[in-house]
Amino acid sequence: MGYLKFASPVLDESTIAGVADVLRSGQLTSGPWVQRFEQDLSVFCGGRPTRVLTSATAAIEVALQLCDIGPGDEVITGAQSFFTVLNMIVKAGARPVFVDCDLVSRNIDLAQIEAAITPATRAIIPTHYPGALVDMDALFALAQRHELRVIEDAALVIGSQWHKRNVGAFGDLVTFSFHPNKNVTSIEGGALVVNDASEARRVEVLRFHGIEYQADRTRDVAFPGGKFNMPDINARIGREQLQHLSEFLARRRALADRYFARFATDPPCILPPKPATPDDEGYSWNMFCVLLPLDRLSIDRKQFRDALEARGIGTGMSYEALHLCTLGRTYGGHKGQFPNCERISRETVSLPLHAGMTDADVDRVCAAAAEVIAAGKAN
């Protein structure tokens, strides 16, 4: 029985052959495949302008620059997220303001956002999780009342929908990730969805050194932009992957349904939100995260993960509480501040879930988890 990775991309022979075609073309970066990938993403996002970059991290950084956010500004974000959001807020020179999340859905707490708004607040960055999305109507109504920008960290949820509209097809600024553990991959890469052609042109400047061309084709820089332009090889892979997204998502949904049907431990774990119907297309299922019942076990999370690893099953951990990392503490983060985020950070485990898995793989994970938890049950 082979090792089961907790995340892995599905790359077919057509995609692999496409990489060779790009290499033979001699046009390796910022060329025709980048343009084609952007066009396809724009169609996927309801015609909204979309620009690709080297990572979702770069997309967050450029989005903050696009909003002219810098020193003296505050950005509200959830304490339950990957380090990207915190790092880029601080890198922009702004102050991160954390709020808690829902324990099960992990969605940002809208009431706490409202309470955290000050005259210095400029934007909200919610992180979407692969299950039930935050109430998007309420989020944007709140932002509109307070004249705030919204930068959606949608790294995990390309293909998720709100009222049958793709995430990215509405709202303000939206960022996607194409890392190998996401729903579609360009190996490394990300995208930023913007509102109009003017913002799209600004992104093009910001992702390539801040260079602007003058009438005589000389160059000028007014803002210190980065080097975030995507190579054509990555765009070629990403475009092929996007064409398979619907089938990838169908497989992920089937695997998630099987987890819901088969995952049972004693004592029980807390599972993610279950779709209203088995064929609910609002859920993209990039991850399947559970909360371990550590208060009723004689083992800790590391021992649980080690036991699955010994059985040839990989796991992940999504995520640590941002306000308790060393950088987060410099902005006032402390234990007891956000109970739900802190509980998630202590108890969360990401189980294997990717489009290359079989039903038998899910059954294997469920059986192993039940066995380990039963053996570790406290007396």
User: Where are the strands (E) in the chain, listed by range?
Assistant: 50-53, 74-78, 95-99, 121-125, 149-153, 161-162, 165-166, 173-177, 190-193, 211-213, 219-221, 288-291, 348-351
- Rounded to an integer, what distance in angstroms lies between the CA atom of residue 181 and that of residue 187? 9
Q: Mind giving me the DSSP string for 155-170?
A: TT-TT-EETTEETTSS
Is residue 151 within 8 A of residue 124, CB to CB? The reply is: yes
| Closest of 267, 372, 286, 326 to residue 106, by C-alpha | 286
Reduce the DSSP state of residue 2 to 3 states and report it: coil
* Nearest-angstrom CA–CA distance, 329 and 338: 13
49 neighbors 199 (Cβ within 8 angstroms): yes
Query: Is residue 182 flagged as an active site residue?
Result: yes
Which residue is catalytic, options 5, 91, 164, 182? 182
DSSP, res 294:
G
CA distance 315 to 333: 28
Q: Are strands 219-221 and 211-213 parallel, antiparallel or unpaired?
A: antiparallel
> Residue 276 contacts by C-beta under 8 Å, 6 or more apart in sequence?
none
> 166-199 burial, b for 16+ CB within 10 Å, e for fewer?
bbbbbbbbbbbbbbebbbbbbbbbbbbbbeeeeb
**Residue 175, Cα to own-chain centre: how many angstroms?**
8
> By C-alpha distance, which of 357, 191, 370 is closest to 285?
357
Residues classed as catalytic: 182
